[in-house]
Structure 1
């Protein structure tokens, strides 16, 4: 009886596939019109706010455009200038961006997973308060910058960090944490990591909390003896979708964080370009020099970098069904 039901199901599936192949695209859309009505609001917003701007950006990247005159087609001139003559981009923005993203992206991602796992083993009554405490900095933004970090990292003796270190005898003179070339990048990384527990952190926490506890019991019966083995063999494989989402959000956040150096140092550009990132270069050409064509070309270059990093995440955490 079971075999006959399976045969009927297989025949029905093959018939449906053959029918779909015979239908034209317009017939297929009409047949599934109810489904398209449901996804229409999302598709309209996606086209207006994402797809069309991206296509327009690719088009403007091949033009000279100053927002006053009509765009003038210049071919690959913007990209040739970017790769051969923009010394600030080559010498400062690209190396600083890769250093910043390499530390903040994986570092924030690892911290998100570790803290999410630690919260998951807490009693439920404490879990929500620790989650709120860790998630709040990602919402604070400029408020936390002006209230917490700027007084803390002030370069005089009144700054909280300098005052504390001088009292302990660890330093004799105040350290210019945010206005010196040597320490600005470190300060940027610390502040960004502090505020990196965003939506990716919540996604990983939700994934860990929803892992079937029977898997842990079965693992202990199969010889898993430590928490580390549970994480490696059960937690990580069971939360791959959430970890993929968290990785993508961490990479995008690391690459797009550009104003942090200017906010901390109060200077634009940052001291000796120590905190100058690709986003800073885009802002400089787009909103200061009004060379919007070249600024758009820089944006396309950054988009390609983010896409390559996201493909790496899909390789690490994606599955064949997701590709």
Structure 2
């Protein structure tokens, strides 16, 4: 046999043996895969398959009644060239909302967690519960607290307070005025943002080796800010990464807050219209499910880019 044919034959045999070795390895580790099976089934059924179906549906025109019609990239072209609501309102509002709720809210969570960690243990638990409780209340807190606070009549907490101080002469329709709605959404979301990511940051401070602070003082660290920057943050990167991912997820799925605050599917003059509201508009009001799927794919890409940025900032580097 010629050397070239021999090498080709050997490569073919190796390629054919790879699936056999893979199946043999799976069988040898069958108990591990058995324990993983519930998660794998749930992941495939509720995440992987819907994502694949959403991507495929984004190339169709589908109204939930007739069979989907393949239209290629027409939905994507229409988004970039014809959808003025998306370009003029959804994207700018989402970027502004994401900037304040994402990075600034994340830094605020870290700062509050660091301050709470300096307190005695008993006081720390009580204050942590006070900050974490709003994230568990969810829509109930929005209805009971914030709608009452920003109510547009005389009995609204904010209007009543400002009227007593003489700062306004007539009640302000806070939740119907386009000038204020997005800012109120940001305030409420940040207030509700002290959730699981906040607890992860608080727990991360316990993982920092206290001897590092003593070594840092010997090396020239002279204040608490330098300790946080040079020791605390590098020592709790896994918790920082987890909190960043949770902040991204919470920011991008927060579009329903405008509907919960105003009671309207579409906010006045699209003042609180985010990308998620745009998806709901086309999916559940216009029943253009193909177009809604395409916007969902765009949101998925934005989420992926934000996740990659978080991994670049807080992911473990080689040798760490």
**Cα offset, 1:21, TM superposition:** 8.3
Structure 1 stretches of at least 4 aligned residues deviating more than 6 Å after TM superposition = 20-23
Return the match for 1:154 from 151, 173, 192. Answer: 151
Structure 1 partner of 2:284: 287
- Map 1:88-99 → 2, pairs under 5 A: 88-99=85-96
Q: Any idea what SS the aligned residue of 1:183 has?
A: helix
Query: Is the counterpart of residue 63 in structure 1 residue 81 in structure 2?
Result: no
- Point out where structure 1 has 5 or more consecutive residues left out of the alignment: 1-19
Query: Which has the higher mean CA deviation after the structures are superposed, 69-78 or 300-309?
Result: 69-78
- Point out where structure 2 has 5 or more consecutive residues left out of the alignment: 1-16
TM-score normalised by length of structure 2: 0.90
Q: Distance in 2 between matches of 1:178 and 1:117?
A: 33
**Cα offset, 1:123, TM superposition:** 0.7
**Cα offset, 1:266, TM superposition:** 2.5
Query: Is the counterpart of residue 115 in structure 1 residue 105 in structure 2?
Result: no
Query: Is the counterpart of residue 144 in structure 1 residue 141 in structure 2?
Result: yes
Q: Distance in 1 between matches of 2:165 and 2:206?
A: 42
What is the aligned length?
A: 303
Return the match for 2:300 from 298, 303, 318. Answer: 303
Q: Distance in 2 between matches of 1:247 and 1:52?
A: 26
Structure 2 partner of 1:171: 168
Structure 2 partner of 1:4: none
Return the match for 1:259 from 230, 236, 256. Answer: 256
Q: Distance in 2 between matches of 1:315 and 1:175?
A: 44
Query: Is the counterpart of residue 125 in structure 1 residue 132 in structure 2?
Result: no
Q: Distance in 2 between matches of 1:30 and 1:160?
A: 65
Structure 1 partner of 2:194: 197
Structure 2 partner of 1:37: 34
Q: Distance in 2 between matches of 1:280 and 1:147?
A: 23
**Cα offset, 1:42, TM superposition:** 1.4
Query: Which has the higher mean CA deviation after the structures are superposed, 301-310 or 202-211?
Result: 202-211
Q: Residue by residue, what CA displacement relative to the aligned partner does 1:135-156 show, whole Å, maximum 9, x if unpaired?
A: 1111111111111111111122
Query: Which has the higher mean CA deviation after the structures are superposed, 134-143 or 159-168?
Result: 159-168
Q: Distance in 2 between matches of 1:31 and 1:246?
A: 36
Query: Is the counterpart of residue 86 in structure 1 residue 64 in structure 2?
Result: no
Q: Residue by residue, what CA displacement relative to the aligned partner does 1:186-242 show, whole Å, maximum 9, x if unpaired?
A: 111000110000111111111112212122222223222211111111110011111
Structure 2 partner of 1:9: none
**Cα offset, 1:23, TM superposition:** 7.0
Q: Distance in 1 between matches of 2:123 and 2:190?
A: 23
**Cα offset, 1:122, TM superposition:** 1.0
Q: Distance in 1 between matches of 2:116 and 2:179?
A: 35
Query: Which has the higher mean CA deviation after the structures are superposed, 286-295 or 188-197?
Result: 286-295
**Cα offset, 1:251, TM superposition:** 1.2
Root-mean-square deviation (CA, aligned residues, Å) is 1.8
Structure 1 partner of 2:13: none
Query: Is the counterpart of residue 224 in structure 1 residue 203 in structure 2?
Result: no
